[in-house]
C-alpha cells in the first residue's frame, strides 16, 4: 500500500506540474488575476473576477450595479447616493445577480444600494447556457467540490494554447484599464461612438428563447433578497437600440415588460424614442454610450429629463398606478412603427 500511495503522489505531482503552472500563468480569462487582471485581448470572466474583487475589497464600495455588458457603460461616478461598483459582465442575468449578491452577503458584504439593469437578454437567455462558456461561468459555491470544479475548467490546455494566439495579437491601447477595474468596474467611458446604423440589424442570438416566467421569478428573487437585507433596489430597463428593440418586441419583450410591471416598480428606458433611434447614442446595435447612462441616472435619481423624451417612455417610473397606461404607450409606439407585437 505504501508503494502505491508513494507512486500515486508522484503521479499527481507530475500532472499538477503539467496543468497548473501553465494555466495559472497564462490565465486567459484572468480568474487567477482578479486583483490585477491583464488586458490581454480575451474577454475575462468578469462575473467571477468582479465578485472576487469586491469580496476582497469590501471597504472600497457600498453599492453595486448589476447587468449585462450593456451596463458596463453605466457611468457609476454620476451616482451620488453611494460608492458604486459596476458588476456588469457578459450577458449576465438576474439569476446570476441573485447568486452573486448571495455570495457577497455570505462573505459579509451587504451593499447599501443595488441597481439592476435588465433588458431583452434577461427574458431570452437561459443562465444554464453560461455554465459551459468560460467567460461567463458564474462564481462557484463555497464547497470545495464546486470550487475545484470551477478552477478545473480553466485548466484546459487547448483553450489556453488557442488563447495565446489572441494574446499575442493583442496590442493594448487602454492604459486606464486596470484603474477602471479597481475603482468603478466600468468599461472605457471615453470611447466616442462612430456607429452608423443604416445597414445595421437588430442584435439577436440564435439561442434566444422567450422565458418570461423564469426571468420574472429571478427578478422576484432579487427583490426578496434585497428586502431581506434592507438593500435599496432600483430596477431599470436598458434603452435598446430601436432595431434591437423591434426584434425583441416581435419575440415577446413586451410580454416580459408587462409581467415586470405587474411584479414591481421600475424605471423604463426601453421603447422607441429620441434616444433609442439615435445612432450616436450607441456603439453598435447592442451597447449604449456612457452619455445615455448619464441621462438614465438623471431621470431616475434627479428627475431631470427632457419632457419630450419622457413622454415617449424614456425615464418613466412605472408603478402600479401608471403601468397599464405605460404598456399601452409601448404597444401603441410599436404598432405605429409597424412592429409586429408577439402574441397579437
Partner 1 sequence: MLFNSLAFAFFMPLVFFLYWALPHKLRWMMLLIANAMFYMSWEPKYLLVIVAMTIVSYLCARLMEKSKNGKQKKVILIVGILLTLASLLFFKYTNFTLSSIGQILKMCSVPVGEYTLKLMMPIGISFYTFQMVGYLADVYKGKITAQHHIGKYALFVSFFPNILSGPIERAGNMFVQFDEEKTFDYQETVYGLRLILLGFLKKMVFADSMSKYVDQIFDHATQYQGLGLIIAIILFTFQIYCDFSGYSDIAIGVARLLGIQLMTNFKQPYYAGSVKEFWSRWHISLSSWFRDYVYIPLGGNRVSKARRNLNLMITFLASGLWHGANWTYVLWGGIHGIYQIVENTVTELIHGKGKKPSTSVFNRLLHVLLTFILVSFAWMFFRANSISDAWYIMTHMFSGFDWNQAMADTTMSYLSIAKTSAAILFLVVFDFFQQKRDLLKDMDRLKLPVRWLIYVLFTVIVIVLSLHNGVKQEFIYFKF
Q: Contact between 3 and partner 1 (CB under 8 A)?
A: yes
Which residue in this structure is represented by grid cell 444554464? 128
77 torsion bin: left (phi>0), alpha (psi -120 to 50), beta (else): alpha
Q: Contact between 182 and partner 1 (CB under 8 A)?
A: no
Q: Contact between 202 and partner 1 (CB under 8 A)?
A: no
| Rounded CA separation 81/301 (Å) | 9
Nearer to partner 1, 163 or 318 (CB): 163
Binder of partner 1 out of 6, 21, 142, 162 (CB under 8 A): 162
Are 288 and 247 in contact by the 8 Å Cβ rule? The answer is no
Scanning 33-41, 54-62, 111-119, 262-270 for contacts with partner 1 by CB under 8 A, the matching segment is 33-41
R_g of the chain, CA atoms, integer Å: 22
Buried-state track 238-256, b at ≥16 Cβ within 10 A, e below 16: bbbbbbbbbbbbbbbbbbb
Binder of partner 1 out of 27, 96, 120, 187 (CB under 8 A): 187
| Rounded CA separation 31/53 (Å) | 10
CB of 171 to partner 1, least distance (A): 11
Q: Contact between 149 and partner 1 (CB under 8 A)?
A: yes
CB of 147 to partner 1, least distance (A): 10
Q: Are strands 266-268 and 316-318 parallel, antiparallel or unpaired?
A: antiparallel
Q: Contact between 128 and partner 1 (CB under 8 A)?
A: no
User: Restricting to residues 64-123, which ones interact with partner 1 according to CB under 8 A?
Assistant: 69, 72-73, 90
Which residue in this structure is represented by grid cell 413622454? 311
Binder of partner 1 out of 39, 77, 182, 298 (CB under 8 A): 39
Binder of partner 1 out of 9, 15, 201, 311 (CB under 8 A): 15
Binder of partner 1 out of 283, 288, 314, 326 (CB under 8 A): 283
Q: Which of 233, 238, 251 is nearest to 289 (CA)?
A: 238
Scanning 12-20, 98-106, 210-218, 249-257 for contacts with partner 1 by CB under 8 A, the matching segment is 12-20
Which residue in this structure is represented by grid cell 490546455? 157
Here's the x/- map for partner 1, 236-275, by CB under 8 A: it reads as: ----------------------------------------
**Residues 6 or more apart whose Cβ sits within 8 Å of residue 8:** none
| Rounded CA separation 94/327 (Å) | 22
Binder of partner 1 out of 191, 201, 205, 311 (CB under 8 A): 191
| Rounded CA separation 285/322 (Å) | 30
SS3 270: coil
Distances in Å between the Cα of 25 and the Cα atoms of 37, 102, 133 are 12, 30, 20
Scanning 7-15, 78-86, 246-254, 302-310 for contacts with partner 1 by CB under 8 A, the matching segment is 7-15
CB of 159 to partner 1, least distance (A): 5
Nearer to partner 1, 152 or 308 (CB): 152
Are 137 and 92 in contact by the 8 Å Cβ rule? The answer is no
Binder of partner 1 out of 9, 20, 25, 166 (CB under 8 A): 166
| Rounded CA separation 321/206 (Å) | 37
Binder of partner 1 out of 170, 176, 321, 325 (CB under 8 A): 170
Q: Which residues would be at the binding site for partner 1 (CB under 8 A)?
A: 1, 3-4, 11, 14-15, 18-19, 28, 39-43, 69, 72-73, 90, 132-135, 145, 148-149, 152-153, 155-159, 162-163, 166, 170, 174, 187-188, 191, 283, 287
Amino acid at each position: 500500500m505504501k508503494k502505491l500511495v508513494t507512486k500515486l503522489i508522484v503521479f499527481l505531482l507530475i500532472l499538477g506540474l503539467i496543468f497548473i503552472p501553465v494555466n495559472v500563468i497564462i490565465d486567459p480569462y484572468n480568474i487567477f488575476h482578479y486583483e490585477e487582471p491583464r488586458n490581454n485581448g480575451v474577454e475575462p470572466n468578469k462575473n467571477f473576477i468582479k465578485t472576487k474583487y469586491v469580496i476582497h475589497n469590501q471597504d472600497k464600495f457600498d453599492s453595486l450595479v448589476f447587468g449585462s455588458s450593456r451596463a458596463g457603460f453605466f457611468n457609476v461616478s454620476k451616482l451620488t447616493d453611494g460608492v458604486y461598483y459596476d458588476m456588469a459582465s457578459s450577458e449576465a442575468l438576474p439569476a446570476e445577480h441573485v447568486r452573486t449578491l448571495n455570495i457577497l452577503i455570505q462573505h459579509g458584504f451587504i451593499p447599501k444600494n443595488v441597481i439592476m439593469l435588465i433588458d431583452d437578454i434577461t427574458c431570452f437567455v437561459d443562465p444554464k447556457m453560461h455554465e459551459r462558456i468560460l467567460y461567463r461561468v458564474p462564481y462557484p459555491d463555497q464547497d470545495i467540490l464546486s470550487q475545484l470544479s470551477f478552477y478545473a475548467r480553466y485548466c484546459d490546455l487547448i483553450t489556453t494554447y488557442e488563447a495565446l494566439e489572441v494574446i499575442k495579437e493583442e496590442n493594448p491601447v487602454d492604459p486606464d484599464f486596470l484603474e477602471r477595474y479597481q475603482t468603478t468596474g466600468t468599461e472605457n467611458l471615453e470611447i466616442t461612438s462612430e456607429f452608423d446604423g443604416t445597414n445595421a440589424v437588430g442584435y439577436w442570438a440564435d439561442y434566444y428563447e422567450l422565458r418570461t416566467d423564469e426571468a420574472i421569478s429571478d427578478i422576484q428573487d432579487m427583490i426578496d433578497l434585497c428586502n431581506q437585507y434592507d438593500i435599496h433596489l432600483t430596477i431599470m430597463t436598458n434603452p435598446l437600440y430601436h432595431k434591437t428593440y423591434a426584434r425583441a418586441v416581435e419575440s415577446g419583450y413586451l410580454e416580459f415588460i408587462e409581467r415586470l410591471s405587474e411584479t414591481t416598480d421600475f424605471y423604463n428606458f426601453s421603447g422607441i424614442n429620441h434616444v433609442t433611434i439615435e445612432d450616436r447614442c450607441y456603439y453598435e446595435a447592442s451597447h449604449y454610450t456612457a452619455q445615455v447612462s448619464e441621462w438614465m441616472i438623471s431621470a431616475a435619481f434627479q428627475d431631470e429629463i427632457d419632457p419630450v423624451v419622457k413622454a415617449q417612455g424614456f425615464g418613466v417610473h412605472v408603478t402600479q398606478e401608471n403601468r397599464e397606461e405605460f404598456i399601452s404607450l409601448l404597444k401603441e409606439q410599436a404598432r405605429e412603427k409597424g412592429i409586429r407585437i408577439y402574441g397579437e
